[in-house]
Amino acid sequence: MKILITGVNGFVGGHLAERLAHNPAYQVHGIARGPHLALASLHDKVHYQALDLRDLPQLRNTLANIRPDVIVHLAAQASVAKSFHDAINTTHDNLIPSVALMQYAVELGFDPLIIFAGSNEIFGNVPREQMPITETQPLVPVTPYGVSKAAVDMAAHQWFVSHKVRTIRLRLFSHIGPRQSESYAVSAFAAQIARIEAGLQEPVLKVGNLSARRDISDVRDIAAAYEALIHHGVPGAAYNVGSGVSHEIRALLDALIAASDTPIQVEIDPARLRPVDVPDVVCDNRRICADTGWSPRIPVQTTMHDMLAYWRRVIKES
């Protein structure tokens, strides 16, 4: 089975490629903007091509050459915060390549399963009485990133209906883990703690909104969900992918600080606050569990332990 991962150098892309590359039943291909694979451990296991998905003629040529059985489309402008300052490019970069994948599959005459990495941001501010969020919840995004992902979700549904392209739409809830960029809250906490411990930062930890609650999963569980969907996902379906448990960001921060022996002061940084922030999110994940047999297995405490260990190692080696 030929599996193409777009954005293979990204956070989820690397974890998914690691998971798939160890199975001899898969021939794993990856594309990303960088000149080479980010993870050295994958260099002899993944067929890599440097490609900017905005180069549509080159994207078409790549699809014609590989003709993958499965496309896992992870490449995106994935920062909600950045989308407020760069809504135009966020919309373009997230929507146009997604549509191109489906159009070129039809034009080139092959029939891949295309899994689109969407986001719970497409649902917007869902009232507490309507949680947990099901796949039938209306799409009313309140962030430019959420708008871009809602557009992709709708386009994937349209191409399934109009051209029978085998699309699967994922509504991914928050996921964290080792190697995540510190532009995301929990990873930023762990990175700052590691720097403070190493004496590279004053003992003041900068934070944004700590009262928000998020449905959080381990990225390695998310990678397992992708593999389960490759084999058991239903084309045309939309799936919530999350833990089904809501965690307050403040509690996650407190747990990370408690894992350090260094005194740390917490300080609100206005630059880390969003213009609009969803107060609480929790998903109903019963559909993916029923269709694929997947379920989240890694406790959030283990995830945070591994994230802090990762950043301590990075800081020590830098």
Of 196, 193, 227, 174, give the one whose Cα is nearest residue 11: 174
Confidence of residue 276 (pLDDT cuts 50, 70, 90): low
Confidence of residue 12 (pLDDT cuts 50, 70, 90): very high
Tokens representing 95?
């929507």
Q: For 2-176+216-244+288-292, give the CATH class.
A: alpha beta
Q: Give the pLDDT of residue 288.
A: 98
For residues 114 and 101, the answer to whether their CB atoms sit within 8 Å is yes
Q: Judge if 2-176+216-244+288-292 and 185-213+246-281+298-317 fold alike in CATH terms.
A: no
Burial (CB count <10 Å: 0-12, 13-18, 19+), residue 5: buried
Neighbours of 42 (CB within 10 A): 18
Q: Give the pLDDT of residue 279.
A: 82
pLDDT (average), residues 255-281: 88
pTM (2 decimals)?
Answer: 0.95
Q: What is the pLDDT of residues 32-66, one digit of tens each?
A: 999 999 999 999 999 999 999 999 999 999 999 99
**Cα 14 from Cα 8, distance rounded (Å):** 6
Confidence of residue 274 (pLDDT cuts 50, 70, 90): confident
Q: Give the distance from CA 154 to its chain's centroid.
A: 18
Of 21, 4, 7, 19, give the one whose Cα is nearest residue 219: 19
pLDDT (average), residues 77-82: 91
- Domain spans in the chain, listed from the N-terminal domain onward: 2-176+216-244+288-292, 185-213+246-281+298-317
pLDDT (average), residues 248-266: 96
Q: CA-CA-CA-CA torsion for 303, 38, 313, 315, nearest 10 degrees?
A: -120
Length of the chain: 318
pLDDT (average), residues 234-244: 98
Residues 6+ apart with CB under 8 A from 225: 241, 288, 292, 294
Q: What is the pLDDT of residues 102-119, one digit of tens each?
A: 999 999 999 999 999 999
pLDDT (average), residues 60-86: 96
* CATH fold for domain 185-213+246-281+298-317: UDP-galactose 4-epimerase; domain 1 (3.90.25)
Express as a percent the part of the chain with pLDDT over 90. 94
pLDDT of 204 over the 70 cut: yes
**Cα 227 from Cα 190, distance rounded (Å):** 28
Residues 6+ apart with CB under 8 A from 147: 87, 91, 141
**Cα 87 from Cα 146, distance rounded (Å):** 10
pLDDT (average), residues 221-230: 98
Q: Give the pLDDT of residue 275.
A: 78
**Cα 30 from Cα 5, distance rounded (Å):** 5
Residues 6+ apart with CB under 8 A from 1: 25, 26, 27, 69, 70, 230
Amino acid (1-letter code) at residue 54: R
